[in-house]
Amino acid sequence: MMMQKSLRLLMIAALALGNSGCTRLYFTTLNRGGPEVALQSPSQPPEGVPGIDVYRAQQPHAPVVVFFYGGRWQDGKRADYAYVGRWLAAAGVTTVIPDYRLYPDVRYPVFVEDAAAAVAWVFEHADALDIDPRRVFVSGHSAGAHIAALLATDAKYLARHQLRPRDLAGVIGLSGPYDFLPLTDDDLVDIFSADPARQADSQPVNHVEGDEPPFLLLHGDGDLLVWPRNSIHLKARLDAVGVPAELKIYRGIGHIRMLASLRYPSLGDARRDLVEFVRATPRSAFAATPGAAIGRPAAH
């Protein structure tokens, strides 16, 4: 009975989210209840990162997912996604949820640079977090999936931290925009620039070269905000260069329901598929160089 009541509230909140921007009820419902897990919030996050929350799995040397929330690159805060951290940590996956600077305070590519700094922080603090640095995954929903995909396809962001895309164990993108040109909305033009070259640079599909980690792309065929063709196009590019990529398109799932399914499995399989991908994906080739702050990857 309680579950049915929560789901009804969630659907009402989702409608409010779409119609009036009333997100508070939506996230309150998602964050109600759930497993109790250890939460850390370091007092000194990396430069450019407003804050980081770490939801610790009980298992030692656990895999970790760095999860970037969506919000059209201009909205969102990590506390709203506590349910993602709690439920993934309860499944044995330590989850790091960083904030990143948002438009209009910043524009592309600052938020991607912030995300790279957060990922580098995870590698740097692997021992303290009791995670396996060869099992660091990046994930995100919507704009957060775009950011995660750019970190794994455009090597320049991680290179600033002496890391490579293949130091990541994998990428899990939920309802992500990876190939969304042309830009027709004024706010997106302001975020990504009117310069065609800069717009092209912002598209993950344009950076796939074969040095990427494995991808799991999750999308709903009912998504009217970010069309499934984004995931279809990215998978095709990854396939063309031999990068392992799995695409799952869920029938009847829309943009908001995809996010809610990370809390309520009855709404979709995203959490199950994410956890299974993390468990099944081989470790990355990351190897820290002795004495390095983070570790330059070893030669192969």
pLDDT tens readout for residues 128-175: 999 999 999 999 999 999 999 999 999 999 999 999 999 999 999 999
In which element (H, E) is residue 98 found?
A: strand 94-98
What are the phi and psi torsion angles at 261 (to 5°)? -70, -15
| pLDDT computed for residue 113 by the predictor | 98
> What pLDDT is stored for residue 11 in this prediction?
53
Give 92's DSSP letter: T
pLDDT for position 95: 98
CA 256-262-263 angle, to 5 degrees, is: 100
CA distance 286 to 14: 40
pLDDT at 22: 54
Q: Strand, helix or coil at 177?
A: coil
pLDDT score recorded for residue 179? 98
pTM, to two decimals:
0.91
* Cα distance between residue 205 and residue 231, in whole Å: 10
For residues 128 and 96, give the distance between their C-alpha atoms in angstroms, rounded to a whole number: 13
Task: Identify the pLDDT of residue 23.
Answer: 75
Please state, in angstroms and rounded to a whole number, the distance separating the CA atoms of residues 172 and 217: 6
Contacts of 263 (CB under 8 A, 6+ apart): 30, 34, 83, 84, 87, 271
Residue 150 token pair: 């750019």
d(CA 67, CA 95): 7
The per-residue pLDDT for 222 is: 96
In this prediction, the residues of the chain whose per-residue pLDDT falls under 50 are 1-3, 5-6, 9, 12-13, 15-16, 18-21, 290-293, 295-300
Map 204-232 to HEC letters: HHHHCCCCCCCEEEEEECCCCCCCCHHHH
